[in-house]
Amino acid sequence: MRDEEGNEVMSEKEIIHNVMLVMVAGHDTSSVLITFILRLLANEPSVYEGVLQEQEEIAKSKVLGEALTWEDLAKMKYTWRVANETLRMFPPIFGGFRKALKDIEYGGYIIPKGWQIFWVTAMTHMDKSIFPEPHKFDPSRFENQSCLPPYCFIPFGGGQRICPGYEFARIETLVAIHYLVTGFTWKLCADDFFMRDPMPIPTQGLPLQICPRKLSY
């Protein structure tokens, strides 16, 4: 890729790397989130009921085949809290690199300017001084997200390099969950374990028994 004066501004290799980055960053992350929400909804009946009720209310207000709107997405407050709590406990991205721009003192140690630092999502998300009883799945933690201290909920990173796909990920997750819970029921068909590779994935690929759902409206 060249600018108007003919100087190369991006090599072919850089373009390929960027396209691959967007494909991995844009696909694997949201698919992991949706996978873990499906797993959770199968295991937690009370959370499932809350999500179903919210999504049915929205479905009832539409005629058959009518698409979801921005207003509908704004009503999916409980579902997004469930998604946030899923992101807190099972963040698709386990961390990232930063470079110290100046000497930093942290926990009695000096991190010298220029050093690379790897921040780990779970260290923050599982810190009980930020999220009491961190191993408990509790979507109500996100009832008032503005009360969370800055940089304490970081599934999408933070600062200048925060994930640019955040809004898109929110939309695709809410839309997918809407059509799944209103149209289908499902049961897990395998023992429930997951590993990190480096994204969290169910060891057996989350096989589901999925059935079309009778509409109650």
Dihedral angle, C-alpha 72, 77, 83, 89, nearest 10 °:
170
Tell me the closest approach of the beta carbon of residue 197 to ligand HEM, in angstroms: 16
- Does 117 bind ligand HEM (CB under 6 A)? Our answer is no
**Binding window for ligand HEM (CB under 6 A); candidates: 17-25, 37-45, 174-182, 201-209:** 17-25
Tell me the closest approach of the beta carbon of residue 77 to ligand HEM, in angstroms: 18
Helices 166-183 and 45-60 cross at an angle (nearest 10°) of 90
132 vs 198, which CB is nearer to ligand HEM? 198
Instruction: Figure out which of the listed residues 35, 40, 156, 202 binds ligand HEM, where binding follows CB under 6 A.
Output: 156
Q: Is 189 annotated as a binding residue?
A: no
x/- contact string, 28-47, with ligand HEM (CB under 6 A)? -xx--x--------------
Tell me the closest approach of the beta carbon of residue 64 to ligand HEM, in angstroms: 29
Binding-site positions for heme: 163
Residues of this chain that bind ligand HEM (CB under 6 A): 21-22, 25-26, 29-30, 33, 92-93, 96, 155-159, 161-165, 168-169
